[in-house]
Structure 1
Amino acid sequence: MKKKLLDAYHEAKYRVLTEPQVCVQVGVSQVVLIDHFFAADSFCIITAYNPLSTKLNDDENKQSNEKLLDQIKQLSDVKVCADTVAQDPNNEWPDERGFLVANLSKEQALQLGRLYQQHAVVWMPSPVYRAELLQCSQS
């Protein structure tokens, strides 16, 4: 992944749309998620927006995200906990809607990321739920 794009992923604020909101940042522990949901094997933030960093219109992005959501709901032992929005503090990228998913394995997260042509997903394994980027693409 190119440095500028990798930096954008690291600088993004991944907001979990709960009350109150949780702000996930790469490299930071998110144990607070247990307070909102439950102790899970992992949490993952994933989207189908803007595949391979190609900016699509809202309708195309929403349609792709609905397909992703339907696919996630078919997985056993996996739970969609909340909607998310990734925000670029430099305003170079539009907000990207996504989902906070509990108990998605690392392999499942990578597979879905690749299927929906994402460069990366945010994965938070237990017990401290430190947010890390899983790079899905080779570009």
Structure 2
Amino acid sequence: MASAIDDATLQAYRETHYRVLGDMPMTLRIDQPSAALAALHRALGVECSAFITAANPFSQRCDDAANARRQQALAQDVVQMGWRAIDALGAHPSNGWPAEPSFLVPGLSLADARMLGEKYQQNAVVWSGEDAVPRLVLLR
């Protein structure tokens, strides 16, 4: 499927370290099974999760204050939907792009992850199903 996202940006997404903070910290990598994520799913009684952000819409840098406002709005949406947002950061290991505030949302369906990603003008979200393999889901 063709994407409106340039190849360099897609490569950066694939190389990013998706760091989950909180009580069960872990680092997720695209297409790499995560025993820690599987354990979190089991502990919380969910079969899926999404790693999402509202920061830097369409990969255009915003200032910290704007990103903080966008993240707060996303957090409110997640809570209103009945889910829990675990603080997280998306950080490329070497390209100098600032780490993006993010959330891991255990239990969030792929459809709802897509909806939130589109609402907050993201190019992609990271979603994991029962196999606990984080997958890059393109939205454009």
TM-score normalised by structure 2 residue count: 0.89
Name the Cα RMSD after superposition: 1.4
Instruction: Flag as ranges the 4+ runs of structure 1 deviating above 3 A.
Output: 34-37
1:32 corresponds, among 21, 25, 36, to 36
Q: Write the deviation string for residues 61-83 of structure 1: whole angstroms up to 9, x where unpaired.
A: 0000000000111113x332x20
1:1-139 correspondence to structure 2 within 5 Å: 1-19=5-23, 21-36=25-40, 37-76=43-82, 78-80=83-85, 82-126=86-130, 128-137=131-140
**Contact 2:38/2:132 (8 A) holds in 1:** no
Matched letter for residue 79 of structure 1: R
Q: Write the deviation string for residues 46-99 of structure 1: whole angstroms up to 9, x where unpaired.
A: 0000001110000000000000000111113x332x200011112331100111
Matched letter for residue 3 of structure 1: D
Unpaired segments ≥5 residues, structure 2: none
1-side partners of 2:77 and 2:23: how far apart?
26
Matched letter for residue 111 of structure 1: M
Secondary structure at the counterpart of residue 79 of structure 1 = coil
Matched letter for residue 73 of structure 1: V
Q: How many residues end up aligned between the 2 structures?
A: 134
Percent sequence identity is: 31
TM-score normalised by structure 1 residue count: 0.89
1-side partners of 2:39 and 2:72: how far apart?
27
Name the structure with the higher helix share.
Answer: 2
